[in-house]
A and B are shown apart, each in its own frame.
Chain A
Amino acid sequence: MTATSVARTAALALGDDALVLSHRLGEWAGHAPVLEEEVALANIALDLLGQARILLSLVGDEDELAYLREERAFRNLQLVEQPNGDFAHTIARQLFFSTYQHLLYGRLAAGDGEFAPLAAKAVKETEYHRDHAEQWTLRLGDGTEESHARMQRAVDTLWRFTGEPFQPVEGLAEAPLVEEEWLASVTTVLERATLTVPEGPRTGAWAAGAGRQGLHTEPFGRMIAEMQHLHRSHPGATW
């Protein structure tokens, strides 16, 4: 099944989000702070990769799309391409993204659009991801002095990327509709975690909708260079 042309833009945006964040989480393998997190982070990465494969397949060949597009053709949010940083940074990124994804998929699953069947499955996965990120936000925020400081720094650093998910995307009218719920939910979690909701803007002049238009941050090019190099070195090969 391929998507209608309107839904292709949306499928590419959502598929790239999942693909790129899955890749970032894959970088944690063998480096996590406890074994249980090796399992959890890989599990989330796998769920996201599964979503990416379904979404990209709606648009075309999943491997061609993942491995042969240039940086400027990727439509993922700038949020998900941000480097892992420390564990707090990874958790803040996950909290912001999973909350968005869970709310969005909840809405898509309830509707009768092209993504409803996919969203019905993915919403269960994203609920688990969201819970994992929330639990860790509480533990780090309300843990030790050091973990509190690190978690606050992570939230502050990534805050300026949190407006982009709610910019309009063709074929995805639902995205802007979940912004208020997102803000309310994230605010509650941050406050429970004894953290301060940042005062800075949620989109800079650059970040607003930029990733969705193929404008990315510098670390992203290096990430896809690593991701694509083997595939590109063997044109036409099957694996």
Chain B
Amino acid sequence: MSALRILVPVKRVIDYAVKPRVNKAQTGVETAGVKHSMNPFDELSIEESVRIREKKRAPGGVEDICAISAGPAKSVDILRTAMAMGADRAIHVETAEGDEGALEPLTVAKMLRAVVDKEKSNLVILGKQSIDDDAAQTGQMLAGLLGWPQATQASRVEFTGDSVEVTKEVDGGVETVRAKLPMVITTDLRLNEPRYASLPNIMKAKKKPLVKMSLSDLGVANERRLKVVKVTEPAPRLGGGKVEDVDGMISKLKELGAL
């Protein structure tokens, strides 16, 4: 089996622990001054790539782990994090701040297809979804555009000979599929536990190569198919009703018609 050239797309999103607020103009979510981090599923992708190398799981070895992110200037921060976790290098595809720069999954998939060709990647590991848009599309779209096999929501990745066996989380349990490289894998929570970047590694990551590009360098236009008409807060729940004891709970549930 040829050596792995792994491409790991990562996205800068509002930190998972922050409760997002809809902006006053109802055009989106307030992002200014809000803590951002790497999309949690993308951390799993980087971790898995690094583990494949460290544990020498791929018979042909790992030649390269390249992290890539498309987004505004601050996306560099998460690319540095990816390199501190073990990626060899990074590509930053810079887009405009805010809504103008936001790319739809299909555009990201087209961009990644161009990068895969350029970098001669033979394995792309993405998160199963980003926690901002919750679309869960990019990996599958990329696989479709490339005509490669895909394994989504992976909880285990194993290499046997020239093929990759992936256990996937599905409704009601797990399913295992096998395919030959090149392929696209998306990560699920159970795949691994991402490491923290150590201080020496954070320092080293500053010296790792980071290449800047634009969408047009890759021959891709930021074409929008979906227009956001409005963004609103969900209807609030009027919770807060408390009961004293178990009997109170049962009678209240009966009153509400839930029992």
Answer whether A and B are interacting partners: no
